A and B are shown apart, each in its own frame.
Chain A
Amino acid sequence: MDLTSTLGLDAARLVDPARYAMSGRAPRVALKPITREEVSEALRAASDDGLGVVPWGGGVALSRERAPKRYDLALDLRALDRIVEFEPEDLTLTAECGVTLEALRDAVSARGLDLPLEAGEAWGATLGGVLAANASGARRLAIGAPRDRILGARFAIGDGTIARSGGKVVKNVAGYGIHRLLCGSRGGIGVILEASLKLLPAPETRTAMVFALEAAQIANVALWSRFPRLEPAVLTIVGRAAANLNPVLAHRTAFTAIVGFEGEAPHVDEMCKLTREALGTPRLKLPGQSATTLWQALADLEELQGPRLSFAGAHNTPGALAPLLSGRLLERAVLHAPFGRLHLFPEPGADSGATLPAETLVRDLHAHGFALIGARGIEPFEPPLAPQVAVGALRASIRVALDPRCTMALGERWATG
């Protein structure tokens, strides 16, 4: 069937579907609209024809995820890449969904501001994709996640209706926070077309310190107990194999710790001193822009290592890894300690703890207070949903209300409760 003619869509917007393969499966058609009206039109047509649509940004996550059952149409949103409004003195910015994180970061840093969004592969990751994934990096606790920074959004729901919630000013409680719901909804409810963000002033100083650590130091809970109240911007632990993927971090010790502070210079200096008292002399100390580059490198490490299981816990120190230190489970691990985010990268074919079946890993980690929040490229795992029947019903009721024809194919798992 010629889907293009069926949909009545502009052939000039057609792009090669092979580029939008999810775990090897391409959609029947791919389109790259250049206006939000074209996005709306495509959704309306797809909805009328009962087709399943997947919105695409940079493909950082989607290319590694399993395709939905109905994967008819990929909507590449990267042509919607304008910064619509940027008010540096108000610390606000409104941009279209296809603008890359790198472009946004360049724009705001040129005006002395900090973009409070982080994700791997910033050169390709788009604003819409980062919001839809509620992606965050090492500074999640310090700067918030997309759900904390989004002020409002314009979006299209499954039938093509374009609507807006929230606003552009830094405080706004009028109406339902649909823009917040879209953060983390992974393209399953609608298409984020444009979003407004609350920015941050760039800190006066940033410093990153890199420490070489052995397992015994990670397990020393007392060593870490003061860190939550020092409020580091970054406290990330990286396993040896993961560290070796980055020339700055590469080292022979079992673990590398990256500790970062941001703020006024005297405070940062004091915090660095306290950190040295606890952890000894850092192997490296990186100031300013080098620290920013390292934050991005940490986010990239989450994307570089293939199939991934992601966990979240209420832990706030590296000591949370203590029960997991035996075997090679943590060889390629990345732990953002202040908010208990742990990424594991099971290695198929290796001969160690890292090859534990995913089910066993998930069960073991759960016993240690880490809940699975994402599984990428590990069949048959998918990011799990809360088990409560009533939560399922609530989720489904929202899905049915906003996308009754289930046009947004990635929401298929939410359609029943």
Chain B
Amino acid sequence: MIWTREHLDELRALLGDDGVLDSEAARFTYEADALVLERMMPDVVVLPRSTDEVAAIVRWARAHDVPVTPRGAGTGLAGGATAEFGGIVLSVNRMDRVSRVDPERMLAWVQPGVVNLSLSQQMAQHNLYYAPDPASQQVSTIGGNVSTNAGGPHCLKYGVTLNHVLGLTAVLHDGSIVELGGEALDAPDFDLAALIIGSEGTLAIVTEICVRLLPKPEAVKTMLFDFETIEQACRTVSTTIAAGIVPAAMEIMDQHTAALVEEWLHIGLPLDAGAVLLIEVDGPAMSLPPQVERILALAKAEGTRSTRIAKDEAERALLWKGRKSAFGAYGRSASGFYIMDGVVPRTRLAEALSIVYRLCRERGLEAGNVFHAGDGNLHPHVLFNSDDPEAQKRALDASHEILRMCIRFGGTISGEHGVGMEKRSMMSELFAPEDLAVMERLRDGVNPERRLNPGKILPGGGACREGSREEVGASARAFAPPSHGGQSPRADVDGPWI
């Protein structure tokens, strides 16, 4: 549609002057999430404060046939928050209140703009915390986490967002408001909340979330093992799980990554290790020593060269800083990279990684790997020079081949980042046409005009009445500034994170 001053005035009447951003400079901030390859400047950005305001915006958008793309902190790596078809970006950043806490029943109602880590920090006074901890948790919002069913290093033991959300309030395509689930674990209806979680804003815009809180673990032990080969690290992961131990987290960094992190942060990572494996166990203090002992024995049996056990919280934080800084370290060594989020059965991790390296080597590219080994969730980074379009093309090709390998191994193309724009063309390789057709029927039943976050998840999904687009951002690129390719750190935040 052609935007006029009257349209903006109408939106300001709904949200106030400070709730509507239409300057080019302001909109520029919202033209992409962490998938900077795909950019599209929204026509306007709105910043509602309440469910009613979100509903009013959606009703307005419907009346004016405008798409609405919800957005949390914009840390997503799949282009899920990019307004591919223009229209309105609805940022939940001002919906950042923890509305109610019930420490006795260990639950809280929060608005979607509450930052993940901030929620746990606010709950610390009750000795409670919110378990899902995506690496972006310093910035990413609970609403964004709900939209991708986010995981994080500790979801190995504690589960993903789905397992920690009791109820939702959400706004549907027509502006109607629904309350799904509630404060009890089971609700008197079928589980619509479980469908909305992970639907990347394509079925509804979540405006309130009731989350489960957990007692903070009494004790934590964090161990770092170094191995000559990454296969040994992967085998340690498998044998630990097979031995019936489910640590809180099991994370691997390969040699390339560990070296980059060490050069940057100097935290004492071995430069010559084929891989380092970080294992964290938590729980009742008295149950940890036997677990640690068993894990040490398993790692030793696989040939670990050295073991470092964090002496205190400061050292633990340092080891985690190393893990969580991997992304930034890549940014220092390559001007462009693609990050994948594929998953393979964890017993096939070593085999999968050798294929990752081979695929990159064959294309004259370097790859780094830092990943949630306990879940089999790979995050290969295919590095390239962003000034070299040929290299970018080869990197993209390698990325697709890596995801195809994940599918062949019985895994999937996304473990926690979501499909967004980035991976929707791969959906046709993961799923059969009839699977996608059923998903499309569902999406079109719930979001019939495809007004909410159009074009995401499913291949060939168009917006409103503007038709469909088969390929990612074909038109969006025409409007976009020169792309650096792949994902890369944004200027305004420290991320992205994986």
Q: Give the interface of A toward B (CB within 8 A).
A: 87-92, 112, 134, 136, 140-141, 144-145, 147-148, 157, 161-165, 167-178, 180-181, 183-186, 188, 200-202, 204, 225, 228-229, 231, 263-264, 266-267, 270, 312-316, 339-341, 371-374, 383-386, 388-391, 393-395, 397-398, 400-402, 414
Q: In whole angstroms, how far apart are the Cα atoms of A165 and B444 in the complex? A: 17
Task: Tell me if A163 and B434 are in contact (CB < 8 A).
Answer: yes
Q: Which residues of B contact A383 (CB under 8 A)?
A: 188
Task: Tell me if B184 and A312 are in contact (CB < 8 A).
Answer: yes
Task: Tell me if B412 and A167 are in contact (CB < 8 A).
Answer: yes
Task: Tell me if B286 and A386 are in contact (CB < 8 A).
Answer: no
Q: In whole angstroms, how far apart are the Cα atoms of A382 and B274 in the complex? A: 60
Q: How far is the CB of B20 from chain A (nearest CB, A)?
A: 26
Contacts A171-B377, A175-B436, A339-B186 supplied; 13 other A-B pairs, CB < 8 Å:
A90-B241, A163-B435, A164-B435, A169-B375, A169-B411, A174-B414, A184-B191, A312-B186, A312-B187, A314-B182, A371-B184, A384-B188, A389-B176
A171 and B376 in contact, given A141-B185, A144-B163, A341-B186 (Cβ under 8 angstroms): yes
Within 409-428 of B, Cβ neighbours of A (below 8 Å) are at 410-419, 423, 427
Q: In whole angstroms, how far apart are the Cα atoms of A153 and B186 in the complex? A: 21
**Selected contact of A176 from candidates B148, B183, B439, CB within 8 Å:** B439
Please report the number of residue pairs spanning A and B whose Cβ atoms sit closer than 8 angstroms.
263
B106, B283, B418, B439, most chain A CB atoms within 10 A: B439
B268 within 8 A of A: no
Task: Tell me if B446 and A169 are in contact (CB < 8 A).
Answer: no
Q: How far is the CB of A263 from chain B (nearest CB, A)?
A: 6
Q: How far is the CB of A137 from chain B (nearest CB, A)?
A: 12
Task: Tell me if A394 and B446 are in contact (CB < 8 A).
Answer: yes
B229 within 8 A of A: no
Task: Tell me if B446 and A398 are in contact (CB < 8 A).
Answer: yes
**Selected contact of B410 from candidates A169, A178, A391, CB within 8 Å:** A169
Q: In whole angstroms, how far apart are the Cα atoms of A398 and B172 in the complex? A: 13
Q: Give the interface of B toward A (CB within 8 A).
A: 102, 104-107, 127, 148-149, 151, 155, 159-160, 162-163, 166, 172, 176-180, 182-192, 194-195, 197-199, 203, 215, 238, 241-242, 244-246, 283-284, 286-287, 290-291, 343-347, 372, 375-377, 410-419, 423, 427, 430-432, 434-439, 441-446, 448, 457-458
Q: List 19 A–B pairs whose Cβ atoms lie within 8 Å, in order of A's numbering.
A: A90-B345, A91-B241, A147-B194, A165-B438, A167-B410, A171-B375, A172-B412, A174-B430, A176-B457, A180-B191, A180-B194, A184-B190, A185-B191, A266-B290, A312-B188, A372-B188, A390-B172, A394-B172, A394-B446
**Selected contact of B287 from candidates A172, A229, A263, A394, CB within 8 Å:** A263
Task: Tell me if B163 and A148 are in contact (CB < 8 A).
Answer: yes
Task: Tell me if A175 and B192 are in contact (CB < 8 A).
Answer: no
Q: Which residues of B contact A229 (CB under 8 A)?
A: 127, 215
Task: Tell me if B148 and A264 are in contact (CB < 8 A).
Answer: no
Task: Tell me if B180 and A201 are in contact (CB < 8 A).
Answer: no
Q: How far is the CB of A148 from chain B (nearest CB, A)?
A: 5
A170 and B376 in contact, given A141-B185, A339-B185, A395-B189 (Cβ under 8 angstroms): yes
Q: Which residues of A contact B419 (CB under 8 A)?
A: 173-175
Q: How far is the CB of A372 from chain B (nearest CB, A)?
A: 6
Task: Tell me if A175 and B439 are in contact (CB < 8 A).
Answer: yes
Give A179's nearest chain B residue, CB to CB. B194
Q: Which residues of B contact A162 (CB under 8 A)?
A: 434
